[in-house]
Structure formats: C-alpha cells, structure tokens
Amino acid sequence: MPFKQRSNLLIAGACVAFFAGMVGMAYASVPLYKLFCQVTGYGGTTQRTETYADRVLDRTITVRFDANTAGGLPWEFQPAAREITGRIGETLQATYRAVNPFNVPTYGRATFNVTPEMAGAYFNKVECFCFTDTTLAPGESLDMPVVFYVDPDIVDVPELKDIKTITLSYTFFPIESARPVASAPRGEDNDTATDTDGKLGG
C-alpha cells in the first residue's frame, strides 16, 4: 500500500477515534460531574449517606425549604413546612408534596442544591427523592420525605462556624416518560398529616 494511502487511512482512523471519544465523554460528563459534586459538595450539592451523625451538638440550625418546577411541568409542588429548626447532628425529616392538576399523566425528576454552597458538603441526606423518575396520574398527589442531618463538623469550618440558616431547594423538571420508582398509591388521596416540626427525634 502506498505511503500516502496509509497516511490517509491513519488520519481517518484517528479522526474516527477522536469523534468516538468525544461522544463518550459527552455521555459520561453528566454522571461524572454529578459524582464530583456529590463527593465535594460543589455547587451546593448535598451528600448522600446511609449512616447517622455520631454526635449531636447543643446548637441549633434552621433549614428552610424551597420548591420549584421548570420546563412547563404543570405540577403544584411545595414543602409541607417552610422551615424547621433542630440541633446540629440531629436527624430531621421534611416532606414535599407534588400534585398533578392535569387530566393526563405527567412525569418529572427532581434536582436539588443547598445554599450557602459551602454547606452542601455538610448537609447529609439519608433519604430523598432526588433524581428519581416520578409519575403522577391525573389529579394525583404524592408526599415525598427528605431525611437529613447537618454534619457537626460544619462548626469547624471558619467560613461556616457561625451559620444559622441553610436553604434546601428542589426543582422538578419534566421528562418524556418514566418507569415510576416513586408514585402515589392508587385509590388514596394521600392526605396524611405531616408533623410541622419535621423531627424524627434525637
């Protein structure tokens, strides 16, 4: 094979490999960025954990709750209580409710963030509904709990040692379809009362 033809084939192969690599990186960038944010708390991303704090401080902190929808999702979405106050390290629970007032099923997925952003690394969620594909039937409502605690190590951070308030914000975006991991029980109005102080206890 002539040298020039071999060179052209090598260049073409390199271009194909480069294009394939760029496509792969584009698909991987979202989960990698999500993982980076979860590990570092970057951008106010909270931490996921299956354990609870090993100590509770004699100092309280207030957590405010924000709810939003985007992209034309027609849900009524709001927290059961606008804020709760508990001790740093104490396990707390809040509840959000979503209602689909439309006469057709609709589908959504929630993202979240914490402000101030640096507090995200110390806001630990034991249970949440983030990144879960959620289906609501016509007129259906769904209560979604968030179980969390604020890591006592937050008081050792110079920029956060005097913090008194953290805001947890959720935004639901529409998705085309869903395999519902979370959905309200059919045939129930799902109007269970929620404890306004949101506490699970010590």
Q: Does residue 154 register a pLDDT over 80?
A: yes
H or E element that contains 86: strand 83-87
Residue 143 CA to residue 194 CA, distance in Å, equals: 9
Task: Name the pTM for this structure.
Answer: 0.66
Superfamily of domain 47-201: Ctag/Cox11 (2.60.370.10)
Structure tokens of 149?
A: 């605690």
Task: State the pLDDT at residue 25.
Answer: 42
Q: What is the pLDDT of residues 31-66, one digit of tens each?
A: 433 444 444 444 445 555 667 788 999 999 999 999
Each domain of the chain, given as residue ranges in start order, spans 3-40, 47-201
β partners of residue 89: none
Type of residue numbered 15: C
In a 3-state reduction of DSSP, which class is residue 107? strand
DSSP of 11-46: HHHHHHHHHHHHHHHHHHHHHHHHHHHHHH-GGGPP
